[in-house]
Amino acid sequence: MKRKKNIKAMERTKVVVGLSGGVDSSVAALLLKEQGYEVIGVTMKTWDTRENEDESPQGLAHGDGIIEDARRVAEYLSIPFYVMDFREEFRRHVVDYFAEEYLQGRTPNPCVVCNRYVKWEALLNRSREFGADLVATGHYARIEKLDNGRCAVRTSVTAAKDQTYALYNLTQDQLSRTLMPVGSYPKEEIRRIAWESGIPVAKKPDSQEICFIPDQDYAGFIRRYTGKTSVPGCFVDKEGRILGQHKGIIHYTVGQRKGLNLAMGHPVFVTGIRPESNQVVIGNNEDVFTNSLLCSKLNWMAIDGLHGGELRLSAKIRYAHKGAMCTIREAGKDQVECIFDEPVRAVTPGQAVVFYLEDWIAGGGIIL
């Protein structure tokens, strides 16, 4: 794909690029510089492992290694570079929320709240210090203005790397001030651009884990962070019959099979969590499927709401879900009911459901 360079209309337009020290954000900065933007690189310091001696010192958002990688990229591209401290915003909006959701028996998606309240809201506010009204990221997604005047996130050109799911909660104002240049390229092309351009982190692998829990021990992190002990309770079937003892509800999520340590003679799965009675409900594989869900905390994007009507579209119930056709309708104040054409597996309270009209995000909410 041919890259556009030196677009005069963009000259002197300042844009703050969130540099994570990885390939995607580095190429985003390169592409915008080639298009004539005045690019400023910023790395967001969100979590310091040195404040948490029990945590791994490797790569938490954002350790010295990540900052130095971002600094090297900025120096190579000859753009200004700053490190901004967002630890308080991150702790308040992301980590506190993450821990509390698990303690309440729900499975949170920290990337969704981080995107809206830290990577966008907080960064946009700070960007004004540089006289910049725009921010840019290395997300594999596109932002387009629709015929109805609304801005919407559109899926990436490469489905294998599409990152739109975690962006459904962005506001119209945030979208109107955001650039996502890598969403128009497949991942292999971004790697090629990085390599051919000599970007220092061209061979750096992608990050997969939750940034503040690199060892993926969510229960251990919550215990250390909150000081609250995970109280054992009962595994029960859907009729309430006791099947055994669990380690504490923070260890489980809907659809889980591994780590249950129940000798039932056949595979069993978590089908529900009851925090009020400290019970984890167990069932068979078919019990994990449902054809409906309720969601709240709605954010509309390509449309401004349902206005009493119904809408046919596709919905994703988790990041890796391919999506399923459904009908959505209002179910009360700030609530939507979603009826799937075919049953879907492991609808999980606390996760996001994101609605798509063809390639564009229509909106989404949090599963109840």
Question: Per-residue pLDDT tens for 84-99?
Answer: 999 999 999 999 999 9
**What amino acid occupies position 97?**
Y
Q: Do 311 and 362 sit in the same domain of this protein?
A: yes
Q: What is the CATH number for 234?
A: 2.30.30.280
Q: Do 39 and 187 sit in the same domain of this protein?
A: yes
Q: Do 53 and 16 sit in the same domain of this protein?
A: yes
Catalytic site includes residue 211:
yes
Domain boundary at 220, 250, 283, which? 283
In a domain, 35, yes or no: yes
In a domain, 1, yes or no: no
Q: Do 77 and 189 sit in the same domain of this protein?
A: yes
In a domain, 155, yes or no: no
- The contacts found for 348-351 with CB under 8 angstroms, 24 or more apart, are 348/106, 348/107, 348/253, 348/254, 348/255, 348/317, 348/318, 349/105, 349/106, 349/107, 349/254, 349/273, 350/101, 350/106, 350/107, 350/108, 350/109, 351/107, 351/108, 351/109, 351/317, 351/318
- Quick one: average pLDDT of 223-241? 95
Q: Do 254 and 311 sit in the same domain of this protein?
A: no
Q: Do 97 and 236 sit in the same domain of this protein?
A: no
Q: Report the distance separating Cα 327 and Cα 193, nearest Å.
A: 41
pLDDT tens across 310-343, in order? 999 999 999 999 999 999 999 999 999 999 999 9
In a domain, 59, yes or no: yes
Q: Do 279 and 319 sit in the same domain of this protein?
A: no
Q: Do 190 and 63 sit in the same domain of this protein?
A: yes
Q: Which of 111, 151, 211, 338 is catalytic?
A: 211
State the maximum Cα–Cα separation within the chain, in Å, rounded to a whole number: 71
Domain membership of residue 238 as a residue range: 230-283
pLDDT band at 275 (very low <50, low <70, confident <90, very high): very high
Q: Do 276 and 361 sit in the same domain of this protein?
A: no
In a domain, 206, yes or no: no
pLDDT band at 356 (very low <50, low <70, confident <90, very high): very high
Q: Do 325 and 191 sit in the same domain of this protein?
A: no
Q: What is the CATH number for 350?
A: 2.40.30.10
What residue has token string 């594989």? 285
Q: Report the distance separating Cα 362 and Cα 299, nearest Å.
A: 9
Q: Which of 114, 234, 295, 338 is catalytic?
A: 114
Q: Do 185 and 263 sit in the same domain of this protein?
A: no
- The number of folded domains in the chain is 3
Q: What is the CATH number for 87?
A: 3.40.50.620
In a domain, 151, yes or no: no
Q: Do 119 and 253 sit in the same domain of this protein?
A: no
pLDDT tens across 6-30, in order? 444 455 799 999 999 999 999 999 9
In a domain, 157, yes or no: no
* pLDDT confidence of residue 201: 96
What residue has token string 């997300």? 139
In a domain, 132, yes or no: yes
- Quick one: average pLDDT of 114-141? 95
**What amino acid occupies position 319?**
Y
Catalytic site includes residue 114:
yes
- Asked whether the whole model's pTM tops 0.85, one would answer yes
